[in-house]
């Protein structure tokens, strides 16, 4: 046992520590830094040290265990070799897949490039045929190809325009004598090139297409033969081209607005499908042009405003019409035109009651709000006479949030006029009654000397009675307006015809004054 202990101690000591100086078993000079006499064995790592330590401690274990350990180690080695083999095979497979994918990607990329080059060659061929003026049939065929290729392909529109397709297409619009099929092919090719491409829109207008399109539909032109198909194509082009702001003044100055108005007025309602499509395109094109304030003067040169007001009852186009009128009232000339028209305010006020269309309510209230603030006292008086107050009160209760705000602002404008009118009536009644002025008692007169206080009280009482009459009149108007509004609201809410207001409402109307209302 002593030998075993000594042997193990010797092994551990030989592994861990190495004395630099031997002093016969005792420390030299009482050195307190005795730990500096020892160092870790540098030849072993931490893991190797632990294995060696375990082997040393377990030296008494039987050889059978050593054999078992060796067998386990062999099995571990075999498993590691098997896993390494699998990993190697997996890496080889992955490398093979990567190489295969890379090769496939290169082939696909090469194929894509070939297709793009082929498409470019085809487009170049189309433009080359389009620029050839020798064969008219060939040119028309090329225009049809441009129309087809540019219909749904944004990249094709860009490429065709860069290759120079727009100038020859514009030139085709003034062929003499006019070839109808070629003109239609050119119009729709230009239309497809302009869709969703502002550069192409600008290039088409710059090439002079607008004037040539108007000549095609001008009945005064000798070589012109207007037709429904040609008109539809020109209207559609004006709609697309007018979407670009820089094109708006050019299109309007060229005379496109009278053409659009005339086309709108002359629509044949028999063909419903074609009628609706052309009508919508005309209204949308006019709206695009009306966005620019300087174009309003061209609109006012026609009878468009009156025509649009007469169309306002058609709910399919009412919102678009109100949008156009919203732009018209942005100018003083536009507001003056609407004020002059006899039925303008009743029609617009009626639109305030379209609860089924909040958007129409909001646009109609915007138009009336601008008119109330900018049209002056005369315009507001016309609005009041047309019955706007009751409609505005109802709108403040049943309208959308935006419509309610606009209705409140209109009522504020009308309330200013109402207050001025009451003050003027009071002033005229108090100072101008019977052609004589009412003045204070003259000092020194017999009447004032005898009953000065009594005469003054009588004069003040007369003025109070006069003011009371004015207030009574306003109060009666307020009560009548509230009752009429309640009846209208009850009717719209499908309440019984014999609906009777509650006592609370009666008390409200009985105690309300002009100061408690927004008008």
Q: Over the stretch 220-235, which tens digit does the pLDDT of each residue have? A: 764 555 688 999 999 9
26-30, 186-190, 293-297, 311-315: which has the minimum mean pLDDT? 26-30
Share of the chain above pLDDT 70, in %: 58
Q: What is the pLDDT of residue 473?
A: 52
Radius of gyration for the alpha carbons in the chain, expressed in angstroms and rounded = 48
- Nearest CA among 365, 369, 268, 278 for reference residue 317: 278
Residue 271, C-beta contacts closer than 8 angstroms, at least 6 positions apart: none
CB atoms within 10 A of CB 369: 19
Cα–Cα dist 381/417, whole Å:
9
- CA–CA dist 317, 308 (Å, integer): 10
Over residues 116-141, the mean pLDDT reads: 87
pLDDT, residue 180, reads 84
Q: Residue 73 has which token pair?
A: 């180690």
State yes or no: pLDDT of 208 exceeds 60: yes
Q: What is the mean pLDDT of residues 131-139?
A: 82
Yes or no: say if 166 and 206 are a contact pair by the CB < 8 Å rule. no
Cα gap 481→501, rounded to integer Å: 14
Provide the 3-class DSSP secondary structure of residue 62: coil
Residues 350-391 have pLDDT tens digits of 999 887 889 999 999 999 999 999 877 888 888 898 889 999
End-to-end CA distance of the chain: 119
Whether domain 303-425 has CATH 1.25.10.10: the reply is yes
Q: Which of 28-37, 177-186, 415-424 has the highest mean pLDDT?
A: 177-186
114-126 residue pLDDT tens: 788 888 888 999 9
**Cβ atoms of residues 375 and 416 within 8 Å:** no
DSSP sequence for 373-416: HHSHHHHHHHHHHTTHHHHHHHHHHHS-HHHHHHHHHHHHHHHH
3-class SS at 226? coil
Domain regions of the chain by residue span: 111-207, 303-425
Round to whole Å and give the CA distance between 46 and 52. Answer: 10
Q: Round to whole Å and give the CA distance between 331 and 291.
A: 11
Closest C-alpha among 437, 417, 416, 423 to residue 471: 423
- 166 or 475: which leads in pLDDT: 166
Q: How far apart are CA 237 and CA 247, in angstroms?
A: 12
CA angle 147, 153, 156 (to 5 degrees): 75
- CATH, domain range 111-207: 1.25.10.10
Max Cα separation, the chain? Answer: 157
pTM: 0.64
Higher pLDDT, 434 or 472: 472
pLDDT for 516 beyond 90: no
Q: In terms of Cα–Cα distance, which of 270, 267, 268 is closest to 283?
A: 267
**What are the residue ranges of helices labelled H in 1-62?**
2-16, 46-57
Q: For residues 269 and 493, which has the higher predicted lDDT (pLDDT)?
A: 269
The H or E element containing residue 229 is: helix 228-241
CA–CA gap between residue 368 and residue 352 (Å, rounded) = 10
**In this structure, is the dihedral angle defined by the CA atoms of residues 117, 120, 126 and 130, taken in order, positive or negative?**
negative
The per-residue DSSP string of 424-464 comes to HHHHHHHHSGGG----PPPTTSHHHHHSHHHHHHHHHHHHH
Q: Tens digits of per-residue pLDDT, 33-60?
A: 444 444 444 444 555 555 554 554 445 4
Handedness of CA 454, 456, 457, 462 (dihedral sign): positive
Burial 333-354 (b: 16+ CB within 10 A, else e): ebbebbbeeeebbbbbbbbbbe
Contact (Cβ atoms closer than 8 angstroms) between residue 325 and residue 367: yes
Q: Residue 420 and residue 426: Cα distance in Å, rounded? A: 10
pLDDT tens-digit map of 76-105: 556 666 776 666 666 667 666 776 666 666
Q: At which residue do the structure tokens 């000549």 appear?
A: 215
Same fold, 111-207 and 303-425: yes
A 10 A CB-CB count for 447 gives 11
Contacts of 491 (CB under 8 A, 6+ apart): none
Task: Decide if 374 contacts 338 (C-beta within 8 A).
Answer: no
Residue 481 sits at the vertex; the CA angle it makes with 478 and 483, to the nearest 5 degrees, is 110
Output the pLDDT for position 73: 55
Please report where in the chains the tokens 């004032």 appear, as a residue: 448
């Amino acid at each position: 046992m002593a030998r075993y202990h000594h042997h193990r101690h010797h092994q551990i000591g030989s592994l861990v520590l190495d004395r630099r100086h031997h002093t016969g078993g005792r420390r030299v000079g009482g050195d307190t830094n005795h730990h500096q006499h020892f160092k870790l064995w540098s030849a072993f790592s931490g893991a190797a040290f632990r294995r060696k330590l375990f082997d040393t401690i377990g030296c008494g274990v039987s050889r059978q265990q050593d054999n078992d350990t060796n067998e386990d180690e062999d099995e571990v080695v075999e498993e590691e070799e098997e896993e390494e083999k699998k990993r190697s095979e997996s890496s080889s497979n992955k490398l093979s897949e990567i190489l295969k994918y890379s090769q496939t990607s290169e082939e696909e990329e090469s194929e894509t490039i070939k297709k793009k080059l082929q498409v470019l060659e085809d487009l170049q061929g189309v433009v080359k045929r389009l620029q050839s003026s020798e064969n008219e049939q060939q040119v028309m065929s090329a225009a049809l190809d441009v129309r087809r290729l540019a219909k749904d392909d944004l990249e094709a529109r860009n490429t065709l325009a860069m290759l120079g397709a727009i100038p020859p297409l514009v030139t085709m619009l003034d062929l003499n004598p006019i070839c109808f099929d070629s003109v239609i092919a050119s119009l729709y090719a230009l239309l497809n090139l302009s869709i969703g491409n502002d550069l192409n829109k600008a290039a088409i207008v710059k090439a002079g297409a607008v004037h040539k399109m108007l000549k095609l539909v001008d009945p005064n032109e000798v070589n012109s033969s207007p037709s429904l198909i040609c008109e539809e194509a020109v209207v559609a082009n004006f709609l697309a081209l007018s979407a670009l702001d820089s094109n708006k003044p050019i299109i309007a100055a060229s005379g496109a607005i009278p053409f659009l108005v005339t086309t709108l007025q002359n629509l044949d309602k028999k063909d419903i499908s074609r009628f609706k499509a052309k009508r919508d395109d005309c209204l949308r094109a006019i709206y695009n042009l009306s966005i620019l304030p300087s174009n309003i003067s061209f609109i006012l040169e026609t009878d468009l405003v009156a025509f649009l007001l007469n169309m306002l009852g058609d709910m399919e186009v009412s919102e678009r019409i109100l949008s156009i009128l919203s732009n018209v009232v942005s100018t003083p000339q536009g507001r003056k035109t609407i004020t002059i028209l006899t039925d303008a305010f009743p029609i617009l006020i009626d639109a305030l009651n379209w609860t089924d269309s909040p958007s129409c309510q909001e646009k109609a209230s915007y138009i009336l709000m601008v008119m109330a603030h900018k049209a002056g006292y005369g315009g507001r008086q016309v609005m009041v006479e047309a019955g706007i107050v009751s409609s505005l009160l109802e709108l403040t209760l049943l309208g959308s949030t935006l419509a309610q705000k606009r209705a409140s602002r209109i009522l504020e404008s009308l309330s200013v006029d109402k207050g001025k009118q009451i003050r003027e009536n009071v002033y005229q009644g108090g100072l101008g009654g019977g052609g004589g002025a009412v003045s204070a008692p003259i000092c020194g007169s017999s009447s004032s000397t005898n009953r000065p206080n009594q005469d003054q009280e009588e004069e003040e009482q007369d003025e109070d009675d006069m003011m009371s009459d004015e207030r009574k009149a306003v109060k009666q108007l307020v009560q009548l307006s509230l009752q009429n509004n309640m009846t209208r609201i009850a009717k719209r809410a499908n309440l019984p015809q014999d609906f009777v207001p509650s006592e609370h409402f009666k008390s409200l109307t009985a105690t309300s004054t002009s100061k408690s209302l927004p008008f």
